[in-house]
Structure 1
Amino acid sequence: MQSTYPRFLEEELDEIAPEEALFHVIPVPLEQTVSYGGGTGEGPSAILRSSSQLEVFDGVSNPSEHGIWTAPPVETYGALEEVVGRIEEATARSISLGKMPVLLGGEHTVTVGALAACKAAFGEIGIVQIDAHADLRDTYEGSPYSHACVMKRACDMGHTVFQAGIRSLSLPEVAFRKTHPVHHLDARDIAMDGIPETVLPDGFPERIWLTIDVDGLDPSIMPATGTPEPGGLTWYQCQEIIRKAVKGRHVVGFDVVELAPVKGLHFPDFAAARLVYDTMGVITRDAVCS
């Protein structure tokens, strides 16, 4: 019987020590503040199980040559603030070894803990966010740790944010983007004018964290998510944005969040696993891994 949390690419790769791997895959099955469809707590397990169907050749290179180690899942019981603290600790452990944490969500709130660890280790960094939603609310349904508040918490930490694929904003979020340095390339702009050669603005930090909410993809590609929005990114648009954003920059880590598996529908789980692995490939080829 397959483990609930198998190693990433377990059927292809031998087990290695964390010190031998560039990528530290950290499952975080968090589901506490979902506000429409549920199921994100099952996302990390589904990604890990689906990764067994991946080829190590991603179409361009073999990212697994850099080493992939899978950590035990972060415990997600208890108060949300405490869970965020555990996520921060798990992320910090990988950073302290000079490795790249790769968080598998779980709802988008998992990113808050990772960004707190980055702030402690590196100071202010750039956040590249692929998402359908701005996630810039100060609170949502009474919680500052809601998945709808993740990028507001990033701004509060002093990080610089770039958003791609956004197509759903509240009026207060629209106002916030006008008065704060939240750079963006929204889905409508991409549909009308395509993706520019340079996506990040001048002066954007050299160290970046990449956060990918799977609902940034169009629902025709990714229906298994709690808050789908029409008009999303295609598969190759998503990859192009990632490639252009990370090129020549120091990537300190990334996450893929908000997969909510649908029973009997396997392709979104596999697509999320492929997104994780393809992002590893883009980073090892085009970015500075540190």
Structure 2
Amino acid sequence: MALHFLDGEIDNARPEEAAFHVIPVPLETSVSYGSGTSEGPAAVINASTQLEVWNGTSTPAENGIHTTPPIDCGGPISKVLDRIEDAVCYAVECEALPVVLGGEHTVTLGALRALRQHRRFGIVQFDAHADLRNTYEGSPYSHACVMRRAMDDLGLPLFQIGVRAMCKEESDYRKANEVPHLDARELFLKGVPRQILPPDFPDNIYISFDVDGLDPSVIRATGTPVPGGLSWQTAISLLESVVKGKKLIGVDLVELAPAAGDHASDFAAAQLAYILMGLGNTAD
């Protein structure tokens, strides 16, 4: 029998009684460097069995966590996105916070499509990369295009944190569309500002956290690790700041590519997923 999040500490709550739906999506179709993201969701769930139920500030698990079966990632990417969308819509129907575990970053698009049906919101993206290419390696649904699809196809506002690697096309697009951002270099030079999100950013927010947004000293097990990333404590401070006064309506954690013997990366990803659930308890 497959493990569920925090297996051994809590039961897998009934979906209609859970505050959180953990949705594993082992998608790996467009990775462009290191491979292994299809193993990411299972590694996070397995590592979660070693977490403390109290995360240091709260106990999200006491409100119930339901872990769904892994999303079927076979067939055309359009069908996979439909399945993700259905799972997230069901979480919304259950009044639960969807917690999508990737898999490559493309999985985010399915979640965004589902939530876009219900309300207006903005995306806060933690990432080493901008993911604003229109196509990559012939596909508009590459992991490198997910935020371009969110903006162009869904009309969602975006705020980027931790970016430190992007192409000229992405830089030009970001300037032309005035995408607000707090890049890794600026954070290093100036520290975390008192106010992060623009005053007119939506009250409802979705957090998309690519683990390569963190420095490789924190999580090395990812397809494209980029030096100069966020420290653990800086990332947590940023997360706490962006949810203050906002309503968190969904989260994802993507691009973990587990490596043999690197338990630290898996555990850090699991801890981050649980911290994100805690933010969902307190965001509004």
| TM above 0.5 | yes
Check if 1:168 corresponds to 2:165: yes
Corresponding residue to 2:123 among 127, 134, 143: 127
CA distance, structure 1, for counterparts of residue 81 and residue 70 of structure 2: 13
The 8 Å contact of residues 5 and 12 in structure 2, kept in 1 or not, is answered as no
Corresponding residue to 1:192 among 189, 192, 199: 189
Check if 1:71 corresponds to 2:78: no
> What residue is the counterpart of 2:281 in the other structure?
284
> What residue is the counterpart of 2:259 in the other structure?
262
1:274 CA displacement: 0.4
> What residue is the counterpart of 1:37 in the other structure?
34
The letter for the 2-side match of 1:91 is: V
1:196 CA displacement: 0.5
The letter for the 1-side match of 2:49 is: S
The letter for the 1-side match of 2:47 is: S
Any residues of structure 2 matched to 1:46-61 within 5 Å, and which? 46-61=43-58
For residues 43-94 of structure 1, give each alpha carbon's deviation from its aligned partner in whole angstroms, at most 9, with x where no partner exists.
0000000000001011112111121110111000011111111111111111
Corresponding residue to 1:228 among 221, 225, 234: 225
CA distance, structure 2, for counterparts of residue 118 and residue 167 of structure 1: 28
The 8 Å contact of residues 46 and 269 in structure 1, kept in 2 or not, is answered as yes
1:283 CA displacement: 2.8
Check if 1:142 corresponds to 2:141: no
> What residue is the counterpart of 2:250 in the other structure?
253
Check if 1:155 corresponds to 2:151: yes
Between the two proteins, the alignment pairs up a number of residues equal to: 283
> What residue is the counterpart of 2:105 in the other structure?
108
CA distance, structure 1, for counterparts of residue 168 and residue 230 of structure 2: 23
For residues 108-152 of structure 1, give each alpha carbon's deviation from its aligned partner in whole angstroms, at most 9, with x where no partner exists.
000000001111121x31000000000000000000000000100
The 8 Å contact of residues 29 and 44 in structure 1, kept in 2 or not, is answered as yes
Moved more, 224-233 or 62-71: 62-71
The runs of at least 4 aligned residues of structure 1 exceeding 2 Å deviation read none
1:181 CA displacement: 3.7
The 8 Å contact of residues 160 and 181 in structure 1, kept in 2 or not, is answered as no
The letter for the 1-side match of 2:61 is: S
TM-score, length-scaled by structure 2: 0.98
TM-score, length-scaled by structure 1: 0.96
Aligned to 2:66, what secondary structure does the other structure show?
A: strand
CA distance, structure 1, for counterparts of residue 87 and residue 169 of structure 2: 33
> What residue is the counterpart of 2:89 in the other structure?
92
Check if 1:239 corresponds to 2:236: yes
Aligned to 2:251, what secondary structure does the other structure show?
A: strand
CA distance, structure 2, for counterparts of residue 200 and residue 66 of structure 1: 29
CA distance, structure 2, for counterparts of residue 80 and residue 283 of structure 1: 29
The 8 Å contact of residues 37 and 255 in structure 2, kept in 1 or not, is answered as yes
CA distance, structure 2, for counterparts of residue 209 and residue 87 of structure 1: 15
Unaligned 5+ residue runs, structure 2? none
Report the RMSD for the aligned CA atoms in angstroms. 0.9
The letter for the 2-side match of 1:241 is: L
Unaligned 5+ residue runs, structure 1? none
Moved more, 9-18 or 37-46: 9-18
1:247 CA displacement: 1.0
CA distance, structure 2, for counterparts of residue 11 and residue 161 of structure 1: 38
The 8 Å contact of residues 204 and 249 in structure 2, kept in 1 or not, is answered as yes
